[in-house]
Amino acid sequence: MTKKPKPEERKPSEASSTVEEILERGSKVDVRGLFAFDTSDNEDEILLKFNLWARWFFPQYFKAPDAPFHRDIDANNYRAYRGILRSFTDIVFRGGAKTTRTKLFIAYAIANDLDHTRKYLKVLSEDGSNSKQVVTDVYNMLISSRVHHYYPEIFEKTVEKREETMASFTTATGVKMRAGTVGTDQRGQIQEDARPDLIWFDDFETRKTLRSAVVTKSIWDNMEEARNGLSKDGSAIYTCNYVSERGNVHRLVQKESEDNVVLVVPIRFNGKPMWDAYTVEEIAKIEQAADDFAGEYLCVKPDTLVLTKWGWKTIALLRVGDKVVTHLNREQKILRIMQSNANDLLDITVNGKVVTITKNHPVLVVRGSTKDWVPAGQLTVKDFVCVIPHGVKWSSYKEQCQNRSNNHKIGGRCLSEIEKIEPSPYKGVVHNIEVEEDNSYVANGLVVHNCEPSAGAGIFFDRASLDRQPKKTPLRTVADFRIFHAFDPSHRYGAGHDVAGGVGLDSSTSVFIDFSTLPNKVAATFESNVIKPDVFGYEIIRQADMFGRPILAPENNKFDMCIGVLRHQGYDNIYFTEQKETRVGMPPRVKTYGWNTNTMTKPKMLFDLKKAVEDGHLELSDPALIAELRSYSRDDLMDKEQDVRLTTRHFDLLMACAIAYQMRNHAVIKKEPGAGYQQPEYERTGLE
């Protein structure tokens, strides 16, 4: 193996004073020194060198000017390469050059990293031909005539035998790169006593893989096995598309943290292309041809001040994990930070302060006695918006706001009239943050909603409706039974139950709904993934006794011992159906106890629940239940996989709630023992 070049061998001579002079007339040492880097170089210097190197050696990849998000791709690729990040998930839109820039950066690092920080790189994809192509492309970059002229040592002949195939190569400088698939068990993948120190997962999830929970789970397990097999300071890069919220990409998004960075960039924002390489007309054609088109993300200017637990801070300087003040006067963590380009913004003036915001960014408004999130483009002068002026704490402002002529206090909220709404002259980068639970923050004194990246067309329950749902704290919790609203014996109640195996996978759940209030309200919930089906039967009776023994609808698809316990204990208010029996010698009708979820009933009960939530007819109360509805997708509705071992996405509270809501036409006020649920009269023909 050749010796590592000394740093001084790769520094440009003093006579070469400009980049142009070095590239035009400099020696090989001068040119190499212009691009070389080691631990003494900072991030900005290395990113500048990378962009110079990539453009000089491979100008064919730079036909359009870079977009702002390309800087984010380069920076996070560098941080993953250096081990500053544990992982970088790159979800830039298809055609956004995320794969090309990653290949270029790896080729640049192999050629110019004096320390050879990464010595064993792996590329894994769902289709092995894709990962082989990536390795081949990087190899071809390194053996291109121009690169080889300046870096002949990368593949110079040595006495050692080295791989140089489509799926794998090893450089003379000791760097190995090989391809594989995420469909292969990654345990024991150690090459010559060395563990991989950088893994690139590329195009590992498609609509084809998402059709099977078995395949999706297997891919996740193999990716985790590969990641866990990294060297001590190893990192992972994921390049992918956000196809569905039920897949592995969504799991990566949910794991975002300071050292697990996620970058989500749509192809357009506010109707404008995110990259000048695409025109509005071209994007329109892409949208027509696409099976799914990612949702848009809503943002504010980068110099906007956001109220944090430490005071006002510029939004561009916020980081994941920082805590901001929400519309509920709570300090909540930032889960995700996003940025994009925008050219069509509004300047909204309140209390003499201006907030620049996109037209579709929701703002908290009170009109009459109604408060709601209203898109900025639909606001009018004289609307009352929730505000907190700069330099004023929330608690003190609530006292001060009543003393201002244009301020009012309604329902404990401080409101100010909008003074002016004008088109903003600002055009450029805008920012947004996703905030846990409350989904809101204070921008330049204005209380605004956040938005979160999602798989667009895959969303089942309208998230704006879910965000308006009040999240209650239980009045009391009795052995994991969370009671949100006290029992009223004059009200009608119904309950649904999803029964599980009690082996630590999915959960057995209960949801009790009060049908006598407007809107109907989830009164109590329960969930446990360790309770056995038969014991759950006794648990249901305990819960029912606290709510006047209402009609119960346990799911009867499996674990019939739960319903058996209810009947054996003499519970007389269980939902049942009767089917006419036509076989000779059998009773004329057969009772089937419990709710049967099947291909006919599942869509109906979920769409009924969806309509009730979005029309404001049902208050969900439980934050855990609301969270399940937020995560549920149309793919989940169509999913026919029944093996709970194949997924970590469970919607047991949601299913119990959907079943419970079906009891709205059957629930009665139970006035005396035996006054349980009965089939309507017209269905009782032939019964004794």
Give the pair of three-digit tokens for residue 623.
Answer: 């934050």
Least confident residue range of 205-209, 259-263, 421-425, 477-481: 205-209
Full domain range(s) for residue 185: 61-265
The residue with greater pLDDT, 674 or 513, is 513
Which of 33, 4, 3 has its CA nearest to residue 16?
33
pLDDT at 103: 97
Q: Which residue has the tokens 């794969």?
A: 99
pLDDT at 17 over 70: no
Task: Give whichever of 361-365, 530-534, 584-588 has the largest mean pLDDT.
Answer: 530-534
Question: Do residues 493 and 670 lie in contact, with contact meaning Cβ atoms separated by under 8 Å?
Answer: no
Q: Which pLDDT does position 327 carry in this prediction?
A: 81
Q: Which residue has the tokens 């950066």?
A: 105
Q: Are residues 321 and 246 in the same domain?
A: no
- Residue 292 placed within a domain: no
179 within a domain of the structure (yes/no): yes
Could you report the per-residue pLDDT of 302-324, keeping only the tens digit for each?
Answer: 667 888 877 778 787 787 788 89
pLDDT at 462: 82
Place 374 in a pLDDT band, splitting at 50, 70 and 90: confident
Q: Rounded to whole angstroms, how far apart are CA atoms 570 and 384?
A: 57
Q: What percent of the chain has pLDDT over 90?
A: 39
CB-based contact 173:153 (threshold 8 Å): yes
Question: Which of 216-230, 339-353, 629-643, 654-668 has the weakest average pLDDT?
Answer: 629-643
Q: Give domain status of residue 529, yes or no.
A: yes
Rounded to an integer, what is the distance from CA 491 to the centroid of its chain?
39
Three-state secondary-structure class, residue 77 = helix
Mean predicted confidence (pLDDT) in 399-411: 44
Residue 539 in this model has a pLDDT that exceeds 80? yes
The predicted pLDDT at position 77 comes to: 96
My answer on whether 245 and 311 are in the same domain is no
Instruction: Output 111 or 329, whichever has higher pLDDT.
Output: 111
**483 and 433 housed in the same domain:** no
Q: How many CA atoms lie within 13 A of 338 on its CB side?
A: 28
Residues 320 and 232 in one domain: no
User: What's the CATH number where 395 sits?
Assistant: 2.170.16.10
Most confident by average pLDDT, 62-76, 235-249, 456-470:
62-76
pLDDT at 164 > cutoff 90: no
The answer to whether 362 touches 448, Cβ cutoff 8 Å, is: yes
pLDDT category, 98, cuts 50, 70, 90? very high
For the CA atoms of the chain, what is the radius of gyration?
A: 30
Does residue 63 surpass a pLDDT of 70?
A: yes
Question: Is residue 374 domain-shared with residue 497, that is, in the same domain?
Answer: no
Please tell me whether residues 448 and 512 are part of one structural domain: no
Domain count, the chain: 3
For 114-145, give the DSSP string.
TT----EEEEEESSHHHHHHHHHHHHHHHHSH
Residues 224 and 342 in one domain: no
Tokens coding 565: 């316990």
233 inside domain: yes
Q: Considering the domain boundaries, does residue 344 fall inside one?
A: yes
pLDDT of residue 395: 44
Residues 290-298 have a mean pLDDT of: 41
User: Which of helix, strand or coil describes residue 428?
Assistant: strand
Per-residue pLDDT, averaged over 633-637, amounts to 67
Domain containing 523 — which CATH number? 3.30.420.240
CA dihedral 159→162→165→169, nearest 10 degrees, is -130
pLDDT in tens, 406-454: 444 443 457 788 999 999 887 766 778 888 877 788 888 788 886 544 4
The pLDDT value recorded for residue 43 is 94
> CA-to-CA distance for 75 and 96, rounded, in angstroms?
16
Residue 52, pLDDT score = 95
pTM for the full predicted model = 0.58
More confident residue, 396 or 669: 669
In a domain? residue 11:
no
Q: Is the pLDDT of residue 659 over 80?
A: yes
Contacts of 292 (CB under 8 A, 6+ apart): 243, 455, 456, 457, 458
- For residue range 482-531, list pLDDT tens digits in order: 999 999 999 999 999 999 877 656 789 999 999 999 999 999 999 998 89
449 shares its domain with 506: no
* Cα 667 to Cα 685: distance, rounded to the nearest angstrom: 22
Q: What CA–CA distance (Å, rounded) separates 660 from 662?
A: 5
- Write the CA distances from 383 to 347, 364, 373, 393, integer angstroms: 15, 10, 12, 23
Q: How confident is the model at residue 586 (pLDDT cuts 50, 70, 90)?
A: low
Which two three-digit tokens encode residue 53? 């190197």
Q: Decide if 509 contacts 659 (C-beta within 8 A).
A: no
So what's the pLDDT on residue 682?
A: 42
Looking at the structure, tell me whether residues 415 and 509 fall in a common domain: no
Model pLDDT, residue 396? 45
- Say yes or no: 424 and 484 in one domain: no
User: 218 and 95: one domain?
Assistant: yes
Say whether both 504 and 628 belong to one domain: yes
End-to-end CA distance of the chain: 93
User: What does pLDDT average to over the chain?
Assistant: 80
pLDDT of residue 294: 39
DSSP 634-646: HHHHH-----GGG
CA dist list (Å): 584 to 579, 592, 685, 688 = 15, 19, 18, 18
- pLDDT score, position 357: 86
Name the range with the highest mean pLDDT among 238-242, 389-393, 420-424.
420-424
Q: State the pLDDT confidence band at 460, using cuts at 50, 70 and 90.
A: confident
Q: From CA 346, how far away is CA 490, in angstroms rounded? A: 51
Region of poorest pLDDT, from 265-269, 433-437, 559-563, 566-570: 265-269
Mean pLDDT of 682-688: 40
Q: What is the average pLDDT across 525-553? A: 95
Q: 250: helix, coil or strand?
A: helix
Q: What's at 574, amino acid-wise? A: I
Taking only the tens place, the pLDDT of each residue in 28-59 is: 898 999 999 999 999 999 999 999 999 999 99
**Which distant-in-sequence residues (6+ apart) come within 8 Å of 183 by Cβ?**
126, 215, 218, 219, 222
pLDDT of res. 520: 97
Give the CATH number of the domain where residue 114 resides: 3.40.50.300
The predicted pLDDT at position 106 comes to: 97
The more confident residue out of 265 and 543 is: 543
User: Is position 38 within any domain?
Assistant: no
What whole-number distance in Å separates Cα of residue 191 and Cα of residue 122? Answer: 11
What would the mean pLDDT of 281-287 be, rounded to a whole number? 74
Does some domain include residue 37?
Answer: no
